[in-house]
A and B are shown apart, each in its own frame.
Chain A
Amino acid sequence: MLSRAYLALGERLRCFEHNFFCLVKVLSNQHGPPPPSALVLVGTDLHMPHLSIPYPKSDEYDSTLLDGFLWAVPKKRRSREKRLTRKHSANKQLCVKKLLMCTNCGGPHEPGRLCPICYALVKDTTASLYERVKDKFGLSPIEKEILAVYKGETPPRETDRVIIEVPKPRPSFFTRNLRTPSTPANSDSTTVDVVPDTKVIS
Chain B
Amino acid sequence: MKLLYRPRTVVTAEVAKLIPALRTAIRPKPLKLSNEEGTLGKLNSLSRLVTALVRDERVEHTYSTLSEARDYAERLIAVAIEHGDCHQPTMELADFWLKEKQLVHKLFKVLVPRFRDSTVSYTKMYKAPIAYPASKYEGGNLQARADLPQAILELRNNPLLPVLPRPTPTRNWIHNVLLEEARKEYSQEKRMGEEFAALERMQTMEDPGPDKEID
- Chain A residues with CB under 8 Å of chain B are 90-95, 97, 102-105, 109-110, 112-116, 118-119, 122, 125-126, 129-130, 139-148, 161, 170-171
Q: How far is the CB of A95 from chain B (nearest CB, A)?
A: 6
CB of B161 within 8 Å of the partner chain: yes
Docked-complex contact B159 and A112, CB < 8 angstroms: no
Docked-complex contact A144 and B110, CB < 8 angstroms: yes
Q: How far is the CB of B140 from chain A (nearest CB, A)?
A: 5
Given A93-B140, A109-B129, A114-B127, verify A104-B166 contact (CB < 8 Å). Answer: yes
Given A91-B140, A104-B166, A142-B106, verify A113-B127 contact (CB < 8 Å). Answer: yes
Q: How far is the CB of A157 from chain B (nearest CB, A)?
A: 18
Given A95-B142, A142-B105, A142-B106, verify A119-B58 contact (CB < 8 Å). Answer: no
CB of B160 within 8 Å of the partner chain: yes
What are the residues of chain B within 8 A of A90 when measuring CB–CB?
140
For B8-37 the 0/1 string (1 means CB < 8 A from A) is 000000000000000000000000000000
Q: Please give the number of chain B residues whose Cβ is less than 8 angstroms from any Cβ of chain A in the complex.
A: 32
What are the residues of chain B within 8 A of A92 when measuring CB–CB?
137
CB of B152 within 8 Å of the partner chain: yes
What are the residues of chain B within 8 A of A93 when measuring CB–CB?
140
- Chain B residues with CB under 8 Å of chain A are 56, 58, 102-106, 109-110, 114, 126-131, 137-142, 152, 159-166, 168
Question: What are 18 sample pairs from A and B whose C-beta atoms fall under 8 A apart?
Answer: A91-B138, A95-B140, A95-B142, A104-B166, A113-B127, A114-B126, A115-B129, A122-B163, A126-B58, A129-B160, A139-B102, A140-B102, A141-B103, A142-B106, A143-B110, A145-B110, A145-B159, A170-B161
What are the residues of chain A within 8 A of B141 when measuring CB–CB?
95
Assuming A113-B126, A142-B105, A171-B161, what are 15 further A-B pairs, CB within 8 angstroms?
A: A91-B137, A91-B138, A105-B165, A110-B130, A112-B127, A113-B127, A114-B129, A115-B129, A115-B165, A118-B163, A125-B161, A130-B56, A141-B102, A143-B110, A145-B114
Docked-complex contact A102 and B140, CB < 8 angstroms: no
Docked-complex contact B159 and A147, CB < 8 angstroms: yes
Docked-complex contact B142 and A114, CB < 8 angstroms: no
What are the residues of chain A within 8 A of B131 when measuring CB–CB?
116
Docked-complex contact A146 and B159, CB < 8 angstroms: yes
Q: How far is the CB of A79 from chain B (nearest CB, A)?
A: 24
What are the residues of chain A within 8 A of B168 when measuring CB–CB?
103
* In the bound complex, CA of A119 to CA of B151 (Å): 12
Q: How far is the CB of B33 from chain A (nearest CB, A)?
A: 23
What are the residues of chain A within 8 A of B126 when measuring CB–CB?
113-114
Given A103-B168, A115-B165, verify A143-B106 contact (CB < 8 Å). Answer: yes
- Among B56, B103, B140, B163, point to the contact of A119 (Cβ < 8 A): B163
Q: How far is the CB of B1 from chain A (nearest CB, A)?
A: 11
* In the bound complex, CA of A146 to CA of B159 (Å): 6
What are the residues of chain B within 8 A of A114 when measuring CB–CB?
126-129, 152, 163-164
Docked-complex contact B128 and A113, CB < 8 angstroms: yes
* In the bound complex, CA of A120 to CA of B96 (Å): 33
Central interface residue in A93, A119, A171, by most chain B CB within 10 Å: A119
Given A95-B140, A103-B168, A126-B160, verify A141-B106 contact (CB < 8 Å). Answer: yes
Q: How far is the CB of B19 from chain A (nearest CB, A)?
A: 27
